[in-house]
Structure 1
Amino acid sequence: MTTLSPSSAPARLAHYDTTTIVLHWLTVVLVLGLFALAEIWGFLPRGTPTRRLLQSLHISFGLAFACVFVLRLVWRLSAGRRLPRATSGWMGAASVGVHGLLYLLMAAQIVLGFLFRWAQGEPFAFFGLFDIPTLIPIAHEQRRFIGGLHDTVAWIIITLAALHALAALFHHYVLRDGVLRRMTSSR
């Protein structure tokens, strides 16, 4: 059984700052939206206007996600409020491990998205406002391999994010330790 350590008892009442909370939930919305867009266009015939629109939105929101991710990292490493661990033991270690793995996978996913688009050799536009230039030439033959990795990492992220959400709900409804409230209100 995992219990709160004495030093983390006050952490149950602490909250993250507003910027951390906004960046967290913006990340959630973008990750879910990007995943949904990719899954939906998979059911549409190639070359249809709707499929192309969904792919264009995926690229644009993917670029927005990359910006939010960088902002989140910078904020977390500089001005973001740091709270003590809410739990100790294996639950605390699992929490740190899952958070670290999610950050690593999201960074990898962003890099894979850029590489995949460059390997496709197609325009890389942000909502039609401007194009992202190809910084690293990638052989067109690599697109299937990179695309496969991009898909696999997406499924791993969604699976870990679902486990993360279930853990938050477990903390809220079963343990009743206030962990979820830390990320839902800055008060």
Structure 2
Amino acid sequence: MNHAADRYDRLTRTFHWLTAAVVIFMFASAHIWENLEKGTPLRKGLQSVHISFGIAMALLIVVRIVWRVFGGNRPKADSHPALNLLAKMAHGCLYLLLLVQIALGFLFRWAQGEPFNFFGLFPVPAPFVIDHDGRGTLGGLHNTVAWAIILLAGLHAMAALWHHFVMGDSTLRRMLPGSRNVFQK
């Protein structure tokens, strides 16, 4: 039986899967353009879309955090308290890494001294001057944090699968989209 209170609300699930999709796209797009010839329209276009999705991610994460603090339901965890604590720490780390990654992305772009905009709709000006000499460091940190997000998100996904297939609990089902879960037991 699958009661609404046993699952996360629709908006929380939407935020979760939208964040996952954007993170995967952002990571993949950065690695794809590295293999494209510099200065080509495809590379510049992919970078532009990456930047626009980075701005969208910033808005998504802020709204997601506000929703997590002030709205949404949180189904009761059916795991050992130590596992629940580990899960909360992992979620906190993911949120922190996403916020740091967004800040690094903005700082890196501003340090490059190139204007950027949101899907061509409006520019995002630098609120302060950033030393161009720091762009290599910022770029390196941006890349390192991207890998940390991917690794932690991968562990998060593996933990959900472990809960479902090994522990046999409802952890995975609570976050699946749709009204009926394909993994219903």
Q: Return the TM-score normalized by structure 1.
A: 0.90
Task: Report percent identity of matched pairs.
Answer: 51
Aligned to 1:4: none
Aligned pairs for 1:59-78 within 5 A = 59-78=51-70
Question: Equivalents in 2 of 1:159, 1:86: separation in Å?
Answer: 25
Q: In the TM superposition, what whole-angstrom CA distance separates every residue of 1:3-43 from its partner, at most 9, and x where no partner exists? A: xxxxxxx99x7100100000010000000000000010011
Distance 1:54 1:27 in 2: 19
Match of 1:110 in 2: 102
- Which structure would you say has the larger RCO, counting Cα contacts within 8 Å and 6 or more residues apart? 1
| 4+ aligned runs moved over 6 Å, structure 1 | none
| Structure 1 residue 34 corresponds to structure 2 residue 26 | yes
Paired residue secondary structure (2:39): coil
After superposition, the C-alpha distances for 1:64-107 in whole angstroms (9 at most, x for unaligned) are 11111111001111111123333124322221111110010001
Contact 1:34/1:58 (CA < 8 Å) preserved in 2? yes
Give the conservation status (yes or no) of the 8 Å contact 1:16–1:186: no
Report the RMSD for the aligned CA atoms in angstroms: 1.7
Structure 2 partner of 1:182 = 174
In the comparison of the two structures, how many residue pairs are matched?
177
Distance in 2 (CA, whole Å) between partners of 1:176 and 1:79 is 28
1:129-179 C-alpha deviation (Å, 9 max, x unpaired): 110111121100010000100000000000000000011011111111011
Contact preservation (8 Å) 1:16, 1:185: no
CA distance in 2, matches of 1:150, 1:14: 37
Q: 1:100 aligns with which of 86, 92, 95?
A: 92
SS in 1 for 2:6: coil
Corresponding residue number in structure 1 for 2:114: 122
Cα contact 1:171–1:180 (8 A) shared by 2:
yes
Which 5+ residue runs of structure 2 have no aligned equivalent? 180-185
2:40 alignment partner in structure 1: 48
Match of 2:145 in 1: 153
1:140 aligns with 2:171: no
Aligned to 1:22: 14
Shift of 1:111: 0.6
